[in-house]
Structure 1
Amino acid sequence: MPGPRASEAERKEQILEAALQVATREGLENLSTRKVAAEAGLSQGLVFFHFESRDTLLLALLGRLLERTAVPQVDSEFLQIAAPAQRLAELLRRDVARFLRERTSVQLFFDYWVMGAHNPPVRDLIRQALAKYRKAYEPIAEAMALDRKERLPALNPQGLTAVMVSLIQGCAVQAVIDPDGFDLDQFTSTAEDLLDLLK
């Protein structure tokens, strides 16, 4: 069944949402265009019309997933925090809290991470997303390095950014593997204590 008429963008969105549901429920290894078509209530031919292969669909789904998960949570309230260390701690708290809320998305991202070990296009998309994510942290890390310039002249903003992103990724792993053993409040207060040591 082709389904009711829809614009190309709406149909692609419908297919990607169906792919997300199938991948979340059954894992990436079990995602097929046939299952996605059934989930979306569309013909398999229509799925192939919009996504020429399973690999194309998988890459599009990864792109969508990265749009949701690889962007730090910055808003006007966050921008009002004056002290760089407090800004950094708050951004860490927000991102880790989001990953705890979105465990299924994080789990799916890790499935892609494993796939990326043997799939260069997947690896390249993940690499680009991580670079973009680190870039979003850099202004805060630069402010922190400037704020601590006298006491810590060698504090490197790019290095600090890499450490912060690694902390977040490590917390995301814990959120997926052992959600009951990970305490967000404990993480936040410990991160603040560590940042205080840079004073």
Structure 2
Amino acid sequence: MVGVRLSKSERRSAIVRAAHRIAVRDGLAMVSGRSVAAEAELSSGLVYFYFSTKLGLLHALLHDVIGRALDGPATDYGADLEPHEALQSMVASEIRDLERQRDDIELLFQFFFVRRDEEFRSEVNAGLDEYGRRLQPVIGRFAALHDLDSRSITEATLAAIQGAGVELVRHPQCYDAERIIAGLRDMPLLSAEDCCR
């Protein structure tokens, strides 16, 4: 990238992408102003011009990761489906999408469990809370139809999706989204026949 003229937002994004590559390849602990500068073919001074500190760079990286890994379904997801079909479809779609997001999911775990800084944990938790809110339109329709507690269904749905994410990080070679989805469909929560028993 040496000699390439980029806007401030493009340069900032390029630095965050370089930090992401290092974090995925070498681990979060290896992200520093110097390592990111080398990866992006920039001076360390330019990295710190945009992010001030290593902490600022890590926060920008986490914000970027959350934006991809916890984006959630579209606002009108499943509007053309019956409530139970929309819920099944949404959960299946989110679990399938985890494989595409594996690197970002692993980085979320690193931010939460390796860094252990409360400010990073708070940011991850806020991202997860927002993700839960994005699931709400579909879950709310299902819960209202069957007079169920929307909050408990949201928590169970999040647990299922996050649990699948843990499995993906733990056993990436063995991860089978379709097997997990099939297992969930056999459970009463996501079974059209049993949901009201």
Could you say which residue in structure 1 is the equivalent of 2:185?
192
1:23-172 paired onto structure 2 within 5 Å: 23-74=23-74, 78-115=77-114, 118-149=116-147, 155-172=148-165
State the TM-score, normalized to the length of structure 2: 0.90
What is the aligned residue count?
192
Give the root-mean-square deviation of aligned CA atoms: 1.8
Q: Secondary structure at the match of 2:42?
A: coil
Q: 1:2 to 1:179 in 2, by over 3 A?
A: closer
Q: Secondary structure at the match of 1:20?
A: helix
Report the CA distance shift for 1:75/1:141 in structure 2 as closer, same or farther (over 3 A): closer
The answer (yes or no) to whether the contact 2:96–2:177 under 8 Å persists in 1 is yes
TM-score (structure 1 length as normaliser)? 0.89
Cα deviation 1:166-192 (Å, max 9, x = unaligned): 110100010111133332222222222
| 1:73 Cα offset (Å) | 3.1
Mapped partners of 1:69, 1:51: distance in 2: 22
Q: Distance in 1 between matches of 2:175 and 2:75?
A: 26
Distance 1:75 1:129, change over 3 A: closer
Of 159, 166, 169 in structure 2, the residue corresponding to residue 173 of structure 1 is: 166
- What CA distance in whole angstroms lies between the structure 2 residues aligned with 1:75 and 1:8? 31
Q: Distance in 1 between matches of 2:161 and 2:176?
A: 13
- Structure 2 stretches lacking a partner, 5+ long: none
What letter matches 2:135 in structure 1? Y
Map 1:14-29 → 2, pairs under 5 A: 14-29=14-29
CA contact under 8 A between 2:37 and 2:44: conserved in structure 1? yes
Q: Which runs of 5+ in 1 are unaligned?
A: 150-154
Greater shift after overlay, 101-110 or 179-188? Answer: 179-188
Percent of aligned pairs sharing the same letter: 29
1:80 Cα offset (Å): 4.7
Q: 2:34·2:44 contact (CA, 8 Å) conserved in 1?
A: yes
- Whether the 8 Å CA contact 2:78–2:90 is kept in 1: the answer is no
Q: Is 60-69 or 104-113 further displaced after alignment?
A: 104-113
Q: In structure 2, what is the Cα distance between the partners aligned to 1:143 and 1:177?
A: 33
> 2:74 is paired with a residue of what secondary structure?
coil
